Amino acid sequence: MDKLENLFSLLTGTKQPASEHSSLQGIQPPDSSQYDPNSVSVVLFSIGRRALAIAVENTEGVVDCPHISPLPSAPDAIVGVVSVRGRITLVLDASLEGALQGSREPSRESWKRRLILLRGDAQLGLLADQIQTVLSLGADETRQLPENRSGKRLLGGISGGVPGIRLARSYFKHGGRKVPILDLGLLSELSN
């Protein structure tokens, strides 16, 4: 099993061959023959209409999101808590962070989604409507997000109302769109 196939095992938490994973959650593995040791692998996922990504090395796996219990007084992007493998995990909806729309109130039935478990002590999981794919990005394919004078990061020239932008430092282009790559450090520092 090559490196990329291992990534799929990691993401799905199973030991099935890579070919079987393509049918799981719509993940399409990139051609392993083009694997570049200097590249960074990212999980591309969607939440609402927004596409976001996170480095595979910052993830621990992907699970079906269990029932979410709401967490009062939590930062906007944290929609609640779940228990995954006995560990309490804070569920983060990156599309809510920095978004202009009002916060959503979770209900028991509406969360038939996936949860990308993040590495580290923060006990965080990223909510995803769909895991699109895992991409291997060359060093020249990622760009730092520019900042305006007040230090706010910009995407497409704007800072406000771009979901996830406060949680990302870099982006890449995919299908003509600029996709923010979420930063584990910023996610872990999340506060009100």
Partner 1 sequence: MMDKALLGDYLSESEQLLDTLSADLDVLMNRAKSGRDPGPSHKTGAESVIEIVNRVFRTVHSLKGLMGMMGLAEMQSFAHRFESTLDDLRLGKLKLNPELARTLQEVAENISGLFGSEARRLTAGGDRQGRVERELVRLRRMLDDMAALPRVLTVKGPRSLASLRLSAEEVKLLTPYERHRITENLIAGKVFFEIRVQFQVGELDSRYRTIASMLGDRGELITTLPGRSANPQSIGLKVILAADMREGELEGLVRPFSAAVARIGPSSWRRAGAVLKSAGRRKKEIGKRTEAQVAKLRANGSDAASSDTPTKRGARLTADHKPLPEDSDDGQLGGVQTVLPASMSQDAFQSLSQSVRVDLSHIDEVSGLAHELYIEVERLSSMAGRIMQSSECGPKERFDLKQSSRRIERQFLELEERLVEFRMVSLAQTFSKAGRLTERLARDLGKKVNVVLAGRGTQIDKMIVDRIGGPIYHVLRNAVDHGVEPAAERLRAGKPEVALIAIEAALEGTRATISISDDGRGIDPDQVLERALAIGAIAGGEEWSKEEVLRLIFRPGFSTASQVSAVSGRGVGLDDVERVMYDLGGEIRVLSEKGRGSRFELSVPTTLVMISAFIVGAADWRYAINVGQIVELIYVGAADIIGTDGKRTIRWRGSSVPLVELGYLLGLGGARRLTTESRARERVTRLTGLTAVASTIEQASDSNRSEWVHRQSDRSAPRYLPRKPDTRVPAFITRFADRFIAVAVERFDDQREIIVKSLGPIGKKMRGIAGAVDLEGGEVALVLDLPGLLMMRSIRL
Least distance in angstroms from the C-beta of 188 to partner 1: 7
Q: Lay out the sheet containing 50-55: strands in order across.
A: 130-137, 40-47, 50-55, 177-182, 168-174, 142-144
Cα–Cα dist 170/168, whole Å: 6
Closest distance to partner 1 from the beta carbon of 111 (Å): 12
Name the DSSP class of 181: E
Task: Check binding of 34 to partner 1 (CB under 8 A).
Answer: no
Neighbours of 188 (CB within 10 A): 15
Closest to partner 1 by CB, 106 vs 180, is: 106
Tokens of 185: 């450090």
Query: Is residue 175 within the footprint of partner 1 (CB under 8 A)?
Result: no
Q: Does 186 bind partner 1 (CB under 8 A)?
A: no
From residue 122 to residue 151, what is the string marking binding to partner 1 with x (rule CB under 8 A)? Answer: xxx---------------------------
Minimum distance from residue 1 beta carbon to partner 1 (Å) = 29
CB of 105 to partner 1, least distance (A): 8
State which residue, 85 or 173, has the beta carbon closest to partner 1. 85
191 binds partner 1 (CB under 8 A): yes
81 binds partner 1 (CB under 8 A): yes
Which residue in this structure is represented by tokens 């992907």?
62
Ramachandran sector of residue 25 (left: φ over 0; alpha: ψ -120 to 50; beta: rest): left
Element (H, E) at 125: strand 124-128
Q: Which of 17, 26, 70, 161 is close enough to bind partner 1 by CB under 8 A?
A: 70
- Using CB under 8 A as the binding rule, the residues of this chain from 87 to 106 that contact partner 1 are 87-88, 90, 105
The position carrying tokens 């967490």 is 71
- For β-strands 59-64 and 40-47, DSSP reports them as unpaired
Assess contact for 32 and 3: CB atoms under 8 A: yes
Alpha-carbon span 2 to 140, nearest angstrom: 24
Q: Which residues bind partner 1 (CB under 8 A)?
A: 66-67, 69-75, 78, 81-83, 86-88, 90, 105, 107-108, 121-124, 188, 190-192
